[in-house]
Amino acid sequence: MATLDQIKEKVILHWGEMGSLWGINRTMAQVHALLFLSDEPLCANEIMEELQISRGNVSMALRELISWGLVTRLHIKGERREYYTTEKDVWTMGRIIARERKKREVDPTINMLRESMAELESMSPIEGDYEREQIQNLLNFFETGVEVYKDLEAQKPNSILKLLGTALRVKKFSS
Amino acid sequence: MATLDQIKEKVILHWGEMGSLWGINRTMAQVHALLFLSDEPLCANEIMEELQISRGNVSMALRELISWGLVTRLHIKGERREYYTTEKDVWTMGRIIARERKKREVDPTINMLRESMAELESMSPIEGDYEREQIQNLLNFFETGVEVYKDLEAQKPNSILKLLGTALRVKKFSS
DNA sequence: CTAAGCTTTCAGAATTTATTGAAAGCATGA
DNA sequence: TCATGCTTTCAATAAATTCTGAAAGCTTAG
């Protein structure tokens, strides 16, 4: 029979694998999972021991997680060492991840596509018709995504679900 | 001034980089971009030359793209070699990518979380309270995602946008 | 000021992932 | 049947990414 620690380990390892599929490195995702499942904040040493990784690796993973806004550093008075904790609400967590991925992936892509369109438009219109059309389609796709993202971002965390539920009900009703 | 080929190359290279951030390999994403921007189907040879990659690499990238359902093989009569083309509608493309990523990333995660919950529940309820709660939260989060995904999947490609527009308008109106 | 206790940095090592290219496979047509 | 023209496979290699650990950096206490 599985012990609590074994179950935690399984979740942490799986989260790590998912992380690497998501362009987040394995360790970073593992540290995140560990903190997410931990009732209290942990210090670098504890993370090191739990995950059996080096001090340097812990330091880098934490730096990255902090820069994403997923982890916060806690100064506990009387304590010399720093403690770390993570956002515990899954919806808020999801929103943070969406925000960061948009910033790192979608925004640069939109810039690139806009640039390409501008260049194509200043070119002789004889060639590149199809390319112009397809790049414009891609651009519209991403821009629409950003629109939707912005609207959703303004909502309270878990109202997103209700919102979509409403949308689908309205749709069903009206079609 | 940039030529058409330079612009295409820029888009293809960027798409390749995005691919690797998305757990899709660089070459696979590049081949996809090349076909997406190409008015006519291309054969393996043409892809090889355009992207300056080996025959084997082209073959593997195409196999993967076909297994995702993003690329189709065309037998042109009278022609010995095979031609390849890709889904050209961006919304359909987005839906295919969503479907595949769900299958490869979300479904296994949900299974893992359900398994963990089952194991936690069959354990002594004295310890693991916090872990149980957090794993359940994660599970709910993913399951909600799947619900929404399924509802959206049933819609026509670009009605998704209108749908969300509606939802947001309803929301604004009622709050 | 120095020591102690902790964190960060980063060059090199280890690991993982992607790519090549030669060989094998497969279909067509002579 | 064999040759031709193409595709696929996969072991070896190359490239990219991640991780380690020793050294340097902070900060606080004495």
Long-range Cβ contacts of B120-129 (<8 Å, 24+ apart): B120/A4, B120/A7, B122/A1, B123/A1, B123/A2, B123/A3, B123/A4, B127/A4, B128/A4, B128/A7
Task: Determine, for residues A90 and B140 on separate chains, whether the beta-carbon distance falls below 8 Å.
Answer: yes
From the list A23, A135, A141, the residue facing B22 with the nearest CB is: A23
C-beta atoms surrounding A54 within 10 Å: 11
Q: pLDDT category, A175, cuts 50, 70, 90?
A: very low
Contacts with A11 from chain B: Cβ below 8 Å: 112-113, 116, 135
Write down the pLDDT at residue B18: 94
Give the pLDDT confidence score for residue B23 in this predicted structure.
78
pLDDT band at residue A29, thresholds of 50, 70 and 90?
very high
* Domain-wise residue ranges, chain A: 4-86, 90-174
- Spell out a b/e string for B23-33, using b for 16 or more CB atoms within 10 Å of the CB, else e: ebbbbbbbbbb
Assign B80 to helix, strand or coil: coil
**CATH code that applies to domain A4-86:** 1.10.10.10
B13 CB closer than 7 A to any strand D atom: no
Most A CBs within 10 A among B5, B9, B25, B119, hence the mutation to make, goes to B119
Distance between first and last Cα of chain B: 52
Long-range contact list for B121-129, CB < 8 A, 24+ apart? Answer: B122/A1, B123/A1, B123/A2, B123/A3, B123/A4, B127/A4, B128/A4, B128/A7
Q: What are the mean pLDDT values of chain B's consecutive 10-residue runs (175 residues total)?
A: 91 95 92 97 97 98 97 89 96 92 95 96 85 96 89 67 60 51
Nearest nucleotide to the CA of B26, by C1', is C18
Write down how long chain B is: 175
Nucleotides of D under 7 A from a protein CB: 5-11, 17-23, 28
List pLDDT tens digits, range B138-162: 999 999 889 888 877 877 655 656 6
HEC states along B46-66?
A: HHHHHHCCCHHHHHHHHHHHH
Residue with tokens 């195409």: B62
Give B-chain residues touching A161 at CB under 8 angstroms: 144, 148
Min distance B56 CA to chain A CA atoms (Å): 24
**Chain-wide mean pLDDT for chain A?**
89
Q: Provide CB contacts within 8 A for A125, sequence distance 6+.
A: none
Closest Cα of chain B to A169: distance in Å? 9
The DSSP symbol for B124 reads: -
Instruction: Mutation target for A interface from B37, B86, B135, B136: give the one with most A CBs within 10 A.
Output: B37
Residue B18 near residue B36, CB atoms below 8 Å: no
- Strand D–CB B75 distance below 7 A: no
